[in-house]
Structure 1
Amino acid sequence: MSVLSLKGVTKKFGGLTAVNDVNLDVNAGTIHGLIGPNGAGKTTLFSLITGFYTPTSGSILLNGKDVTLTSTSHRARKGLVRTFQGTVLFPDQNVAQNIANGMLATGAGSWTDWFSESQAYAKIRYQEVERLLQFARLSDLRNAAARDLSHGQQRVLGIAIALAAKPRVLLLDEPFTGMTASEKDRLVEMLQSIRQGGTTVVLVEHDMRTVMRLCEVITVLNFGSVLTEGTPEHVRRHPEVMSAYLGTTA
């Protein structure tokens, strides 16, 4: 069953076509990879999916509902949450506070609850923050300022913040960038657990080895268009994929 569908999505910036007639279906409960060389349109496509850009043409459906013209906050409330290439944190707040901030995107608790610190909401928030600290293996760092974390720890914290919004579809923009081999292994395990917990993951990533071991389906973009799509084995053997990445003819 498709949880996210793009139908003929195109985005033009003046005379530049950044995304061209993209059709994409992401099945629920999968880890779906989105790859391509620099400038292929991957990040622009993420921005279209999450509402930071409006398509020039085409439509975007979330759980079968057209969200093409809805706001980013509306999509977040419907379960579509994104991380960015550059980790977006509150650097002077501690790890636990950063995770708690992610809960503002959910319907669990209003702004009034948040600022008045109602007893019931404070308990809900505490329990959820504790769960995510343990899940992300950040419990020992709960009181550390986000700015003092290592790069890899900041990347994981960014994902934990996104999980606090209770996404049904989680879009990750190059989450493995700058990580050590051991950090990548731990994040692979974390993403597999997220998927097993019922959240669909869509992943933009340049680390091909990690993409091949993690994703069930991979879509390849080139010059804003879908070059091919299929299993990791299909993509690995596709002659035009190597050509797109290396600029050579197969």
Structure 2
Amino acid sequence: MKALSLNGVTKAFGGLVAVNDVTLGVEAGSIHGLIGPNGAGKTTLFSLITGFYRPTAGRVELNGEDVTPLSTSLRARKGLVRTFQGTVLFPDQTVAQNIANGLLAIGRGSWSDWFIESSAYKHAQQEEVEKLLTFSRLTDLRNASARDLSHGQQRVLGIAIALAAAPKVLLLDEPFTGMTASEKDRLVEMLQDIRKNGTTIVLVEHDMRTVMRLCDVITVLNFGRVLTEGTPEHVRRHPEVMSAYLGTTA
């Protein structure tokens, strides 16, 4: 079953075609990589999937449902959630408060619950925060300000906030950027656990070694088109992939 499907998705900005007739399917429960050289259209494609941009042509489907007309917020409520290259946090708030804000922002609880401080709501919220802190291995940092975390810890916190939305499909935009080797290893384990818990993951990433060890399927974009798609071994051996990255002719 396809958790996410793109059918002939195209996006033109005036005379510039940033994404050109992209068709791909992401299997439910998989980790699917999206790679390509700078300017290949990866981030634009993410924005089309999440509804930040509307396609010039084509269709986006989530679990077989056409979500192309839906806003970003409505897609998120249906389980399509994205993180960004730049981690968006409340820097002066604690790790636990940031996660609690994430729960409220995506509607797991109401504003009336927040203002009247319903004891049942507060208890349920705290339980969920604790679960996410434990899962993301941030429990010991629960009272630390987000601004005081390392870059890698901030990236993990951003993913924990996204998990507060209980995503069916989680889109990660360069999650490993700026991480140390040990931080990358821990995040690989975390993403594998997220997949085991039933969430499909699609990630854009430039760290090829990590992509090759983590992903089940990889789609390679070049000049807005799909250059090739397949297993890491297929992509590694594809003669045009290296040409695309090096800017040479095969």
Identity across aligned pairs (percent)? 82
Residue aligning to 2:167: 167
2:239 pairs with 1:247 = no
- CA drift at 1:108: 2.9
Residue aligning to 1:98: 98
Structure 1's unaligned 5+ residue stretches are: none
Instruction: Please report the RMSD computed on the Cα atoms of aligned residues, expressed in angstroms.
Output: 0.9
1:135-174 superposed matches below 5 A = 135-174=135-174
Residue aligning to 1:53: 53
- Cα distance in 2 for partners of 1:95, 1:172 equals 20
2:30 pairs with 1:30 = yes
* SS in structure 1 of the partner of residue 155 of structure 2: helix
- Contact kept, 8 Å, 1:8 with 1:21, in 2: the verdict is yes
1:1-250 superposed matches below 5 A = 1-250=1-250
- Cα distance in 2 for partners of 1:96, 1:20 equals 42
Name the stretch that deviates more: 143-152 or 108-117: 108-117
- Contact kept, 8 Å, 1:106 with 1:166, in 2: the verdict is no
- CA drift at 1:171: 0.2
* SS in structure 2 of the partner of residue 39 of structure 1: coil
- Contact kept, 8 Å, 1:33 with 1:202, in 2: the verdict is yes
- Contact kept, 8 Å, 1:40 with 1:223, in 2: the verdict is yes
- Cα distance in 2 for partners of 1:59, 1:247 equals 30
| CA distances 1:71-118 after superposition (whole Å, capped 9, x unpaired) | 111011100100000011011111001011111344532222233221
- Contact kept, 8 Å, 1:83 with 1:158, in 2: the verdict is yes
| CA distances 1:5-33 after superposition (whole Å, capped 9, x unpaired) | 11100001111000000001011000000
Q: TM-score scaled by structure 2? A: 0.98
- Cα distance in 2 for partners of 1:216, 1:114 equals 41
- Cα distance in 2 for partners of 1:73, 1:115 equals 23
Name the stretch that deviates more: 213-222 or 107-116: 107-116
* SS in structure 1 of the partner of residue 108 of structure 2: coil
Partner letter of residue 231 of structure 2?
A: T
| CA distances 1:137-193 after superposition (whole Å, capped 9, x unpaired) | 111111111011110100000000000111010000000000000000000000000
Q: TM-score scaled by structure 1? A: 0.98
- Cα distance in 1 for partners of 2:98, 2:105 equals 13
- Cα distance in 2 for partners of 1:104, 1:49 equals 23
- Contact kept, 8 Å, 1:104 with 1:165, in 2: the verdict is no
- Cα distance in 2 for partners of 1:164, 1:20 equals 33
Partner letter of residue 98 of structure 1?
A: N
How many residues align? The count is: 250
* SS in structure 1 of the partner of residue 147 of structure 2: helix
